Amino acid sequence: MTVDTLRLSAEEANRLVTQGEVSSDELYRAYLDAIGERDPELHAFLYVCENDPGEGIPIAIKDVIGTRGIPTTAGSKILESYVPVYDATVIANCRKRGLRVIGKTNTDEFAMGSSTENSAFGPSHNPWDPTRVPGGSGGGSAAAVSAGLAPWALGSDTGGSIKQPAALCGHVGLRPTYGTVSRYGVVAFASSLDQVGPVARNVRDCAFLYSVISGRDTNDSTTVDVPRVELPTADDLKGLRIGVPKEMNGAEGIESGVTAAVQSALERAESLGASVEECSLPRSVDYGVACYYLIAPAEASANLARYDGVRYGLRDDGADFREMVMRTRDAGFGDEPKRRIMIGAYALSAGYYDAYYGTAQKVRTVIKREHDELFERFDVLVSPTSPTVAFPIGAKIDDPVAMYMNDVLTIPSCMAGLPGMNIPCGLSEGLPVGLQLIGPQFGENTIFRAGHALEQAIGFDVVPERLR
């Protein structure tokens, strides 16, 4: 039988393979054919595997996640020739379920960015309109899932790198609760924030993939035991208490088409039985981005100190050790990692530590407390995921501060360690609008239930119009 990879969910693909209607190899080849056809335009992949072992269905992997024997670059020249000698725990978990890596997807360098334009290997393109960005940093995984180049994918999210690309490409992406998914074998960016999570075509696939990758791992001491994942089935929202933080829905820069699509989804939620009430996060939205762009760079400056040209990665020439290290890092890092390393080094340096890093850590407490208080009254919080639909490639690349504001709505919950999921909720100017569902820590099952019911009611077609 012919496989229409544009329409196939992971659940259905898995059914086809387990019931013997399509072999694992046939399915894998169908996705390779789709990559051959559409990836020259989209550049979702940095590396395509010709025949990864396994008996199950394919999965695409963001190129910050280490894969044994398969190049892992983090979108950086400094890791261009790096081939991991072990699998990340999330990859080992996927392999236990028979999943086959189909390729490594493009990312902003070291997952630092909101558009994939910071990739050392060139940007990915949005399947809905290739002149526009797919979001970032996980734009490669997003474009791959949206364009039917993989049934699902893994991403990583520090301040919005799963949720925002899912919004801009019109599919589902979950940033899980901090500590639920192992980071062992994942290229580190900001360790108090980084989380690996699923990228999928629908909420049930997203929930299932989350169940595959989550759980305590002795190789990552920040991981904890995770409540049993329930695949959502209900199509009503009876009893669900939705909070609508006014600052996240009225923030400066939110496009009117985005507001309209989210409003219409909230009306549907009410008609499905949920209660919808306005609430407030007075300081989280105003101060979230500033807080994030101190804490994440500070942690990045420490994490990226390991790229010294000694044990792996690029090495440049130098007369002595110090010169070799400095030249290697200048040649290997692009501008965005350099900016963040320097901001981080500045924020941590003698004389500035208390004013910058120390203050940001206290603001983080304020943000966490504001969210904790809301979850005494609400089950989920709802807002747009991104203030805008996908923007043109090149529009913000020369203005780092404008680029950072793309994350204004995804960052606050990340700072608080909370799970958040994007579901598509409509179109504006022909491009997808994303709705963000935020839950309390370990509230994934509630998010899945709410997201699934809304997804059924909205009936958004995740296949980009130009590919139908």
Partner 1 sequence: MARITKEEVLHVARLARLELSDDDVAKFQEQLSDILEAVSKVSELDLSDVPPTAHPLAIANAWAEDVPRDCLPLDDVFANAPDRDGDYFRTPPA
Orientation of helix 203-213 relative to helix 10-18, angle to 10°:
70
**Which residues lie below 8 Å from residue 359, measured CB to CB, with a gap of 6+?**
294
* Of 14 and 301, CB closest to partner 1: 301
Beta pairing partners, 96: none
Torsions phi, psi of 311, nearest 5? -95, -30
Smallest gap from residue 358 Cβ to partner 1 (A): 6
- Which of 24, 115, 141, 161 is catalytic? The answer is 161
* Of 12 and 316, CB closest to partner 1: 316
* Of 198 and 344, CB closest to partner 1: 344
| Closest-CA residue to 50 (of 72, 66, 31) | 31
**Contact of 316 with 327, CB cutoff 8 Å:** yes
* Of 74 and 389, CB closest to partner 1: 74
- Which of 115, 119, 137, 156 is catalytic? The answer is 137
**Contact of 232 with 449, CB cutoff 8 Å:** yes
Q: Cis link prior to 221 (omega < 30° from 0)?
A: no
Task: Please report, as a single letter, which amino acid is at residue 359.
Answer: T
Smallest gap from residue 391 Cβ to partner 1 (A): 19
256 has catalytic annotation? no
Q: Which single residue is written with the structure tokens 């690029």? A: 314
Beta pairing partners, 104: 47, 61
246 has catalytic annotation? no
Smallest gap from residue 212 Cβ to partner 1 (A): 22
* Of 326 and 427, CB closest to partner 1: 326
Smallest gap from residue 304 Cβ to partner 1 (A): 8
Smallest gap from residue 412 Cβ to partner 1 (A): 12
Q: Which single residue is written with the structure tokens 């850590």? A: 361
**Contact of 378 with 242, CB cutoff 8 Å:** yes
Smallest gap from residue 404 Cβ to partner 1 (A): 7
Residues in the chain: 468
Task: Please report, as a single letter, which amino acid is at residue 429.
Answer: E
137 has catalytic annotation? yes
HSE on the CB side for 26, CA within 13 Å? Answer: 13
- Which of 62, 104, 163, 396 is catalytic? The answer is 62
DSSP β-ladder status, 275-279 and 45-48: unpaired
* Of 24 and 158, CB closest to partner 1: 158
d(C-alpha 147, C-alpha 137), whole Å: 17
| Closest-CA residue to 49 (of 12, 120, 99) | 99
Please identify every residue annotated as catalytic.
62, 137, 161
